[in-house]
A and B are shown apart, each in its own frame.
Chain A
Amino acid sequence: MSKYISALFFFIAFSGVVKSQDLKDNFYVKALSQELNRNIERLHLPELSKPFLITYKLRNNYNYVIRAERGHITSTVKEPSVSKTALVKLLVGDYHRNFDYMQYGGFPVTLPDEDSADEIRRILWLETDRAYKNTAQQYNATLAALKRVTVDEKELALDDISKITPIVKDYGSVSPISFDRKKWEDILTELSRMFNGNPELTTTYCQLNFNNFEDYTVSSEGAIIRQPSQSVSFTAYANTTDEEGNNFNEGYAFYAKDIAELPSLETLKNEINKIIASIKNSKKAQKFEEAYLGPVLFTEEAVPGLLQNMFGNSLVTRRKSIMGYDYGNNDYEDKLGQKLVSTDLTVTALPKLASFNGKPTTGSFQVDDEGVVPPDSLVLIKNGILKSLLNGRTPTQKFSKSQGFVKSFGGRVLNPGVLKVSSASTIPADSMKQRLIKIAREDGLPFAYIVNQRDYTNADLFRVDVKTGLKTLVKNCRISNFNIRSLRRFATASNKQVLSNMPNMSIISPQSLIINEVEIEKQNKTVKPKPTIVSNPLLDKKIATSRGSKAKK
């Protein structure tokens, strides 16, 4: 037994070594490492501090867009594009004082398509030299400026960047974009042609976007990482204006990791038909003229739209500038332990969750863009109480270490990856409308409202008659004064959790939810563009064609 365990241990350890050695032998890693080592060891100007931290990143990017309009492929680029970008981040000073959070997240440069270690290194060499001179200048200038002000001791005591345990890990590569182009061109052509029967729709398209990339990170701290990313999206859009100059548009978007996950042709056809019907209905909809304060049922796309707005990028730490700049952002760190939203709501970041109910998530990641592995789960709000915040390597008073949530190639954008919002109070999905009516009736309201669009603040709404339960579409309204505090008036949610994928983020949430005391008012647009003077050429053609066919008869 002991032999077996030893052998197994040896195998695991050895395979780990082989993997990390494979990564160290990777062409890009070698080029980045060689240039990085040379610079961290020898880049130094007399009487200036040496750089103490250099990070190189390299992104191999594969992009492709196919667009179809009115039954024709209109994108002119016929092959996926391949590009490479590098990013140089260099810090002068030490971990405690380097003003990192006051500087750019890095300096981007374009690399040649052809793989050449000499060229990659030459470009990095020039950019590192430039970054060093700029950063050293800024560092000294900021140190000098600090002498003019008195800074809160506690803020001054914070490090400017936290130390990490660097990882050497290969999370895999991505392949160049590969799919059945002819099949998808035919699908897009067919779908986009569905708009042709509606000549009043003057802008219409269907589009497929691919974006695959692999990021390499090499740092003077010892990190060597390769991580892949793959995404594909289908979007459809239509737009028209009426005789009064009112604009109507409707869209559909589906995000996935792989083209095989996109909906079937029949589903996509249904979505196109929904877009057409929605615009027609919107044109005919009644205008919202009153003011409303009462319960609103958020459903379909409005739910991830709302939750992304409320929690997506806002529950994050913010470092106060010691130079006194105030960006006016909400500082949630002071509110930790306090009630932020309804006690029924719990919000959790699940950055590594690769799938939900068998459906891949588009937002998940294994390591963040600062080389830190995030936890499997981080509770941000528990039973309405703010428990934690997303952060990266910039320390703040209550978060000295990175939790690994920076997700941007050259910036410091914090992202939960996968965000789960759950409710302690749920009812069956098919009871939600009845509950909405019940709450409205109890409030003495004749109507209640339902919203189902992602841009919920400016969407058309369904007005529900409390007496009859009948729904009527209304337009020219907006949900106002709605912010995270509005979720204190959360009433209930449906008992079914669903996954909504978006670019770079996924949200797992109840399918629908009701919030009380939502304000709705009419749009106060006093100006709108005049309608187009000349008649729509498609309508003219339709008239000419019908006249022609009548004449023939």
Chain B
Amino acid sequence: MKILRALICLALLLTCLNEIRAQDQFYSFLKDELQREYQQLKTADNRLYYMSYRVDDIKSYRISSSFGVINSIDSSRMRIFSPIIRIGDYKLDNTHGSMFGQIPASLPVTDDEDLVKLALWKSTDAAYKNAAQVYEKILTDKKVRVTEEDTAADFSPAKRVNHFDPSINYNALKPDLTKLAERVAGFTAILKQNPDLLTGNGMVEFKITRKYFVDTDGSSIIENSTGTWLSITGNTKADDGMDLPLYQMYFFYLPADLPSVDSVTKDVKNMRAKLNALRKSKIADPFVGPAILSGRAAGVFFHEIFGHRLEGKRMKSEYDGQTFKTRLGTSVLPSFLSISMDPTIKKVGHTDVNGFYLFDDEGVQAEKINVVEDGILKNFLMTRTPINGVSGSNGHARTAPGGVPESRQSNLVVIGKHNKADAELRQLLVAEAKKQGKDYGYLFQNVQGGFTTTGRTSPNAFNVLPIEVYKIFADGRPDELVRGVDLIGTPLSMFNRIIASGDKPEIFNGMGGAGSGWVPVSATSPAIFVDVIETQKKSKSNDRLPVLPRPDLDK
């Protein structure tokens, strides 16, 4: 028996050693092929001055459930290859003014050198030909167009970096899928007990990512990361056809850290009750007046109206609104607020935050950036693409696998001074409502996300999408849950309306979408009191409720 156990241990050890060796080999294949390609392409076209290879090697586990039933248990592994080719020089190259043009490809998940190199070779050729064609067009554009406002270079040097995370032991990280499936099915079974719900879904996703980066400047990076999402969604429909979803989302780095069954059960039961209340709630009319944004709502609010406007690379474009491009050193927020973007933190307090990374997607070490100190704008989120007045990356070039790295947010953290307790914020709101002659103000308790437009061709507006909103009455009546409200506005007019901040930070973990795809982000903020906000009616479905009752209730 002991011998058998020893043999099994030995076999497992050998399997792990093989896996580890394969991961190291894969890196050397990338590095060798990059050098070979660069030498030959440079000989063929001496305008080529920089190349990088990025590979996102992603192992995913997914479990989905609805109303207590397991829908699917899947796992997959893929390698997404993103070659970057720069033709021209640092001043002007083929990436000029472009946020697209990447030609990603999938690489075989194998440790065979020939297969990996063949795939790299084919994709690199397509990427080079695309880059060369784009560069010719850019040279022509320069001749027929007026001089651009931003005269900064297209690329800047960066410090050479070598960083190698240890090989991943995939077997050790494999979650207990059966146990997780039982848990998530248990949560969605709670939703089934609400007869008004049309759907009740749950999803657990665990991703293990090993990111490889090599470039012709000599940087070599291998960075590992993990992320686990548990999401529970319930959906009901009001009699007027409005779809009413609520979400409960949890982010942790490892599945083992997910909250206890009791804790999630409590949240899901709470959500189930709120869905009932929402069905019965009234639709709110468009409104202008005072409001409190909870910490989560405020986090999304700052992410949308502020964070996206600090993304440096987009300011190079003359199509961008460039809200803050010339405002460095000036007051942009009330003096009691400071904001940092910090990809170097994995937790805020005891909570895991989703925007952590060591190196960005251009191979630059991540840095914490204090973008606003005491209301004064101090810095932008920079990639290796400079803009007039700001040069040098601070490690915020990010992209979804396969995309072109852009300036993107990470962990946004808002810190307030002279903070007020919830009751004090409420008193401020009541007082302001009375002052403005309003019967009530709003409390935006929870949001599902938001979006903003930063270009010049459409109004530079933002939209935060609340899913739990209360009226707080000036005359002291109990709060009233309402539905069908979107929080809207234009950024510059909003900043001076922030009057006070709360004393408890709350965290919103999510995925931020922009030109370079979806990247993991978080926003941490205290609640804020705003003396004037504007709302509009939420768009809604006109479909009637189902004609027949839900089958399990139609006895």
Contacts and interface: CB of A to CB of B under 8 A. Distances in A.
Interface in A511-553: 530, 532-538, 540-541
B122 A532 contact: yes
Interface stretch (A71-79, A215-223, A425-433): A71-79
B121 interface: yes
A45 interface: yes
Contacts of B70: 112-114
Nearest to B44: A533
A35 interface: yes
Given A76-B109, A118-B67, A530-B129, A35 B114 contact: no
B445 interface: no
B41 A112 contact: no
Nearest to A129: B546
Interface string A267-287: 000000000000000000000
A119 interface: yes
A38 interface: yes
B115 A74 contact: yes
A315 to B, nearest CB: 41
Contacts of B547: 42-45, 129, 132
A113 B72 contact: yes
Given A39-B548, A45-B547, A533-B41, A113 B110 contact: no
Interface stretch (A120-128, A148-156, A294-302, A405-413): A120-128
A196 B37 CA distance: 22
Q: What is the predominant secondary structure among interface residues of chain B facing chain A?
A: mixed
Interface stretch (B73-81, B211-219, B257-265): B73-81
Given A126-B198, A129-B548, A38 B41 contact: no
B118 interface: yes
B121 A534 contact: yes
A70 interface: yes
A71 B544 CA distance: 58
Given A76-B77, A126-B546, A133-B543, A533 B125 contact: yes
Contacts of B108: 69, 72, 74
B71 interface: yes
Contact of B554 (A38, A71, A77, A114): A38
Q: What is the predominant secondary structure among interface residues of chain A facing chain B?
A: mixed
Contacts of A35: 551
Given A114-B70, A118-B551, A70 B112 contact: yes
Interface in B403-460: none
A508 B109 CA distance: 41
A79 to B, nearest CB: 9
Interface string A91-124: 0000000000000000000101110101101100
A534 B41 contact: yes
Interface string A71-91: 110101100000100000000
A130 B237 CA distance: 14
A202 interface: yes
Contacts of A38: 548, 551, 554
Interface in A33-61: 34-35, 38-39, 42-45
Interface in B513-547: 543-544, 546-547
Contact of A534 (B67, B69, B125, B550): B125
Interface string B323-352: 000000000000000000000000000000
A70 B125 CA distance: 21
A233 B461 CA distance: 55
B128 interface: yes
Contacts of A125: 546, 548, 550-551
Nearest to A113: B72
Interface in B149-167: none
B59 to A, nearest CB: 9
B115 A119 contact: no
A112 B551 contact: no
Interface residues of B, number: 44
Given A38-B548, A43-B547, A534 B72 contact: no
A72 B115 contact: yes
Contacts of B554: 38
Contacts of A132: 547
A75 B125 CA distance: 25
A533 B45 CA distance: 10
Contacts of B44: 533
A113 to B, nearest CB: 5
Choose among B128, B543, B552 the residue with the greatest number of A CB atoms under 10 Å from its CB: B552
B374 interface: no
Interface in B103-134: 108-110, 112, 114-115, 117-118, 120-122, 124-125, 128-129
A196 B76 CA distance: 28
Nearest to B200: A122
A537 B36 contact: yes
A72 B72 CA distance: 29
B33 interface: yes
B543 A532 contact: no
A37 B552 CA distance: 14
B40 interface: yes
A536 B73 CA distance: 40
B522 to A, nearest CB: 31
Choose among A203, A530, A532 the residue with the greatest number of B CB atoms under 10 Å from its CB: A532
A537 B115 CA distance: 10
Contacts of A72: 108, 110, 112, 115
A490 B125 CA distance: 47
A462 B293 CA distance: 77
A70 B72 CA distance: 33
A541 B112 CA distance: 14
Nearest to A74: B108
B551 A114 contact: no
Interface string A466-509: 00000000000000000000000000000000000000000000
Contacts of B546: 125-126, 129
B114 A538 contact: yes
B73 A70 contact: no
B394 to A, nearest CB: 34
A314 to B, nearest CB: 37
B115 A69 contact: yes
Interface string B23-54: 00000000001001100110010000000000
B552 A118 contact: yes
B112 A533 contact: no
A77 to B, nearest CB: 7
Nearest to B72: A113
Contacts of B550: 122, 125
B115 A536 contact: no
A122 B36 CA distance: 58
Contact of B73 (A74, A113, A121): A113
Contacts of B69: 112, 114, 116, 118-119
Nearest to A115: B69
Contacts of B33: 537
B114 A70 contact: yes
Contacts of A110: 71
Interface in B345-369: none
A114 B112 contact: no
B322 interface: no
Given A77-B76, A118-B551, A534 B71 contact: no
A111 to B, nearest CB: 8
B548 A43 contact: yes
16 contacts: A38-B551, A44-B547, A69-B108, A69-B115, A70-B112, A74-B110, A112-B72, A116-B68, A116-B69, A121-B551, A125-B550, A203-B118, A533-B44, A533-B128, A534-B124, A535-B40
Interface of A: 34-35, 38-39, 42-45, 69-72, 74, 76-77, 83, 110, 112-114, 116, 118-119, 121-122, 125-126, 129-130, 132-133, 196, 202-203, 530, 532-538, 540-541
Name the 3 nearest CB pairs between A and B, nearest first. Answer: A121-B551, A537-B117, A112-B71
Given A42-B548, A534-B36, A537-B33, 8 more contacts: A38-B554, A39-B548, A71-B112, A122-B550, A126-B198, A129-B546, A533-B125, A541-B114
